Structures are given as C-alpha cells and as structure tokens.
Amino acid sequence: MTCDRARTLYLAGDAGDDELAHLAACAACRDERSALDTTRSALSGRAMWLEPAPHIADQVVAMISGSPAAAVREPRRRAKAWTRLAAVAAAVVVAVGLGIATRPPAPDWEVAMPGTEAAPAATASVKGWNEEGGTRLRLNIAGLPDAPTGSVYEFWLTSDAVHVSAGTFAAAGEVELWVGVARRDYPRLWVTLEKLDEDESLSGVNVMDTGY
C-alpha cells in the first residue's frame, strides 16, 4: 500500500479497510489528513461538477480579446454562464490545490543504500524529514526478497557502537518509518534480517548498508 494510492482512493470516496488503515497508521498521511478532508469536502460540492454551456469558451475568448460582438452574445444567459464559468474556475483551482495538498514536502536529505553480499541485488533510496523529536523516513526498496517466515527486516541508525531501531518491515517497496533521534547524530543507515524471537541482540545478517 502506497501513500499516493491510499490518498487518491480516500479523495475519490473509494477507500476500503486497507486504505483507511494505512491513513491511520502512516505518519506522513496523518500529517496530510486535514488537507485531504478539506479537498474531499470541496470536491463533493454539486457546483464543482456543473457542465459549462458550449458557448462559454467563445465568451471567455471574446472577453479576453475585447470583441464586443462576441461578448454580448446570449445576454439572457449571461448570469447563468458566469455561474458555470465560476464553477469551472473553481474546479481548476481545486485540482491544482489537490496536487499541492497531497504532494509531500521535499525531504531534508536523501541517500542511497546499496545491498551487501547477503543481498547483492538489493538497492534503496532513503529520504528523511527532520522533525521535532525525531526523523521521518521513507524507504523505496527494490531487489530485496521477502523476509522468510518467522523473520523481518529491521532498519537501524548507528553512531559508533550505538544502534537505534527505526522499525521493521517484511518486503520491498515503499516503507514509511519514524525514529526518535536525529539522523545527523547517527550517520550510518543499514538493514538487518532478524528472527522473530526473544533474542534482542542484532543477528549480524546485514542486507543493506550506507556505511559511515
């Protein structure tokens, strides 16, 4: 489930349980929820979808060009035409606003995270947003096989011998994580394969790593 898909289906009124669960669990989508609700409300208005009369385009061109003959065409419908024209203009504004509302802010930093000998085909880009109290992370991972049954991948930030987990995931694709430390204090980013057991120590199976 990607953020774009969940947000698009929510705005269209077609979000199912999976999309709603993503919107509730994803920190990035929670940040955009207010803007999404505002845009969804605007899109539900009847005036937004009124079909303009066929002559509206000619009237707009005439008004821009200053042609008096075209500008006075169909005077009895002028008020209605302007209402429809306003609806069309509002639709354009909301469409532009929709793109802005759902577009995530540019990341504060981005690094590549290549695979190791344990996963030579794996590659990922890691984008980070510096937030109060921590760091929001978005991983786009390719070439990494699904974690075996009973195991998960775990993402780490490391400074010397101090390792901080940002969370776990089971498969490649887009992964959203959040960690309560600043990346500038933990320069190494890496991923290990961990068994789901009571052993809290690192497995030592390193599958992707930026190095220091």
Could you tell me if 116 and 81 lie in one domain? no
- SS3 (DSSP) at 16: coil
For the cut 90, the answer to whether the pLDDT of residue 146 exceeds it is yes
End-to-end CA distance of the chain: 31
Identify the pLDDT of residue 63. 65
pLDDT one-digit tens code per residue, 106-126:
999 999 999 999 999 999 999
Tell me the mean pLDDT in the region 126-147.
Answer: 96
Q: Tokens 């993402």 sit at which residue?
A: 155
Question: For the whole model, what pTM was predicted?
Answer: 0.54
**CB of 150 closer than 8 Å to CB of 195:** yes
User: Is the model more confident about 191 or about 93?
Assistant: 191
Q: 7 with 69, same domain?
A: yes
Lowest mean pLDDT among 35-39, 103-107, 164-168, 170-174: 103-107
Task: Check whether residue 95 and residue 122 sit in a common domain.
Answer: no
pLDDT exceeds 50 at position 154? yes
Instruction: Select from 102, 125, 153 the last residue of a domain.
Output: 102
Considering its fold, how many domains does the chain have in total? Answer: 2
14 with 45, same domain: the answer is yes
pLDDT of residue 75: 46
Report how far residue 144's alpha carbon sits from residue 207's, in angstroms, rounded to the nearest whole number: 8
Range of the domain at 113: 109-209
Q: What's the whole-number mean pLDDT along residues 25-35?
A: 80
DSSP summary character for residue 206: E
Averaged pLDDT for residues 165-177: 95
Taking only the tens place, the pLDDT of each residue in 44-89 is 766 555 666 666 666 666 666 665 554 444 444 444 444 544 554 5
Contact call for residues 55 and 81 (beta carbons, < 8 A): yes
Boundary residue ending a domain (73, 102, 131): 102
